[in-house]
Homo-oligomer: A and B are copies of this chain.
Amino acid sequence: MMKTLDVPLADRSYPIYIGKDLLSQADLLTQHIQGKEVLIVTNSTVAPLYLQQVEDSLKDHRCAAVILPDGEEFKTLEILNQIFDKLLTERFSRKATLIALGGGVIGDMTGFAAASYQRGVDFIQIPTTLLSQVDSSVGGKTAVNHPLGKNMIGAFYQPKCVIADTLTLNTLEDRQLSSGLAEVIKYGLINDLDFFEWLEQNSGALLQRDQAVLAEAIERSCQDKVDLVAQDEHEQGVRALLNLGHTFGHAIETGMGYGNFLHGEGVSVGMLMAADLSQRMGWLELTDVDRIRNALIALGLPVTVPKGMTAERFMSLMSVDKKVQEGKIRFVLLKKIGKAVISDDYSADKLAETLSVFES
């Protein structure tokens, strides 16, 4: 029961493998490793769970591991340097392969380390959270944070393959699982009404971690993202639709301090805020907004803004976002469920209304 999805990017195309217990299939991994030198990058939470299993697949390789501290607050240039230290201490060459074993933070840092080590070595993603399986698997975005902004230092860099083993989702906390489902339902909202309806119907099975239903949700999410990214690898146009809910969401994440509000939780509230603003623009019906709210709640996601996030706080935090162009914040809004647009054509009054309604 394995699905394979190809990400078509000319000479940088690669497969995403999705299914149950893929980590036990050593050849899935090893067929994409060209040399003998392999560095596994993981964190202190994931290492005790899956590092041994991955190392067992690499018995014929010269395999080393770096175990980083777990958390978004460690996604920095300083911690990135620990990966370079290890690569150089091991004297790994340009033929080395880096394996990212963990969630989005590990994927982002390992990808950027691979992009930069000796100006580029191979890397493979083994995402172990739902969020990273549906989000960082496609698109080639890698980065670290800077004290003055999230993901400000990075590269576009594609992996050789992605292995999404649904069994790894069994060790996720409920909150982490729901956080991933926020990105899943995002694809439905952006351009896939069928998928949105399927998610409404399957929210119970997803929360119960039905392996086949999870695999289908991952595949459909990745396919939707592939369709957008293939049109726009370097985020000049339609790819920006993937930021639905992210401008509001990043503000909440940053405002609450990285790690206190999960990324998907911020995106969940942010998508509802985008829906609210879209309704005020006359695009969505009030019943659509309610439907989105109910779908988010059914997936175990928050729909209200945490304490302390005033309208003023939102405006200040959103003004440093990468999506700002020439002073005006560009939002992703909804023309209807399944049809997102990028717009700076909203009125400041309507935005103020949305912020004020959600203010806590």
Q: Which of A310-360 contact B (CB under 8 A)?
A: 320, 322, 324-325
Q: Within the complex, which residue of B84, B93, B116, B324 is in contact with A324, where a contact is CB–CB below 8 Å? A: B93
In the bound complex, CA of A112 to CA of B77 (Å): 14
Judge whether A84 and B143 touch: CB under 8 Å: no
A191–chain B nearest beta-carbon distance, Å: 24
A109–chain B nearest beta-carbon distance, Å: 13
Contacts of A324 in B (CB 8 A): 93
Q: Which of A77-125 contact B (CB under 8 A)?
A: 77, 81, 84-85, 88-89, 91, 93-95, 112, 115-120
Judge whether A152 and B115 touch: CB under 8 Å: no
0 or 1 for each of A137-168: is its CB under 8 Å from B? (1 = yes):
00001110010110011111000000000000
Judge whether B84 and A116 touch: CB under 8 Å: no
Judge whether A153 and B93 touch: CB under 8 Å: no
Judge whether B118 and A152 touch: CB under 8 Å: yes
Judge whether A149 and B77 touch: CB under 8 Å: no
Judge whether A153 and B116 touch: CB under 8 Å: yes
Judge whether B84 and A117 touch: CB under 8 Å: no
| A interface size (C-beta, 8 A) | 33
Contacts of A117 in B (CB 8 A): 152-153
User: Copy number in this complex?
Assistant: 2
Q: In chain B, what residue has the closest Cβ to A154?
A: B119
Q: Within the complex, which residue of B77, B89, B95, B155 is in contact with A120, where a contact is CB–CB below 8 Å? A: B155
In the bound complex, CA of A319 to CA of B119 (Å): 19
Judge whether A119 and B320 touch: CB under 8 Å: no
Judge whether B119 and A155 touch: CB under 8 Å: yes
Judge whether B152 and A120 touch: CB under 8 Å: no
A94–chain B nearest beta-carbon distance, Å: 7
User: What are the 6 tightest A-B residue pairs by CB atom distance, in nearest-first order?
Assistant: A88-B148, A119-B154, A116-B153, A119-B156, A84-B146, A88-B149
10 more A-B contacts (CB under 8 A) besides A84-B153, A116-B116?
A77-B81, A85-B148, A88-B146, A89-B148, A112-B116, A115-B155, A116-B153, A116-B154, A117-B153, A119-B155
In the complex, 15 of the A-B residue pairs with CB atoms within 8 angstroms, ordered by the A residue number, are A77-B81, A84-B146, A84-B152, A84-B153, A88-B148, A93-B322, A94-B322, A116-B116, A118-B322, A119-B141, A119-B143, A120-B155, A120-B156, A120-B234, A155-B155
